[in-house]
């Protein structure tokens, strides 16, 4: 069995991260982006993360191939929200169901432990029982559902929001 590495993302990971994300743009309602991104278009997103601080990007890789990522980023642009982060996780479809999401979220939350993050929030497009189960496993509690908030693939989608206190 090939070994899995968990590490902060590096510049050379951007093409693989873009490809992984674009799968979800094209094939699922999980993200409400409607058009795939180029690597250049994703650069600003990528550069918003650091190896320290509240905004992190962890990847998993097997034999040099990115198999997933978990991130924390600014929730809203206003200063009073600075201690709240929005978390996101995307897995290569072939890696789903093997505990990878759990391992990535573990690394992400360990890296945020001393960064002054008070609250983590996450939105889950419904239905998505695997994502809901992952968030519940990490202590996220549901706080509300935005009904029919996104329109993709010819239909409206609901998003359920979760939050977890970290500090």
Contacts of 101 (CB under 8 A, 6+ apart): 68, 70, 89, 91, 130, 134
Residue at 11 is within a domain: yes
Would you give the end-to-end CA distance of the chain in angstroms? 37
Nearest Cα to Cα of residue 14 among 40, 33, 48: 40
Residue at 60 is within a domain: yes
**Residue 107 maps to which CATH number?**
3.40.630.30
**Structural domain span for residue 93:** 4-119
Residue at 48 is within a domain: yes
Q: pLDDT tens string for the chain (167 positions)?
A: 578 899 999 999 999 999 999 999 999 999 999 999 999 999 999 999 999 999 999 999 988 899 999 999 999 999 999 999 999 999 999 887 788 999 999 999 999 999 999 999 999 999 999 999 999 999 999 999 999 999 999 999 999 999 999 97
pLDDT of residue 27: 97
Contacts of 136 (CB under 8 A, 6+ apart): 162
pLDDT of residue 113: 95
Counting the structural domains of the chain, the total is 1
Nearest Cα to Cα of residue 60 among 17, 15, 4: 4
Sheet containing 57-62: give its strands across: 4-8, 57-62, 65-74, 84-91, 119-125, 155-165, 141-152
Residue at 166 is within a domain: no
């Amino acid at each position: 069995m090939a070994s899995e590495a968990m590490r902060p993302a590096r510049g050379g990971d951007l093409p693989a991260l873009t490809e992984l994300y674009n799968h979800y743009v094209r094939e699922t309602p999980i993200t409400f982006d409607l058009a795939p991104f180029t690597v250049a278009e994703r650069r600003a997103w990528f550069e918003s993360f650091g190896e320290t601080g509240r905004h992190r990007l962890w990847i998993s890789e097997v034999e040099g191939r990115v198999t997933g990522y978990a991130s924390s980023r600014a929730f809203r642009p206003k200063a009073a929200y600075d201690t709240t982060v929005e978390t996101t996780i995307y897995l290569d479809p072939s890696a789903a169901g093997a505990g990878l999401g759990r391992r990535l979220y573990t690394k992400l939350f360990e890296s945020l432990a001393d960064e002054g993050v008070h609250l983590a929030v996450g939105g889950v497009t419904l239905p998505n029982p695997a994502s809901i189960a992952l968030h519940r496993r990490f202590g996220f509690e549901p706080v509300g559902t935005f009904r029919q908030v996104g329109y993709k693939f010819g239909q409206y989608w609901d998003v359920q929001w979760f939050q977890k206190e970290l500090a």
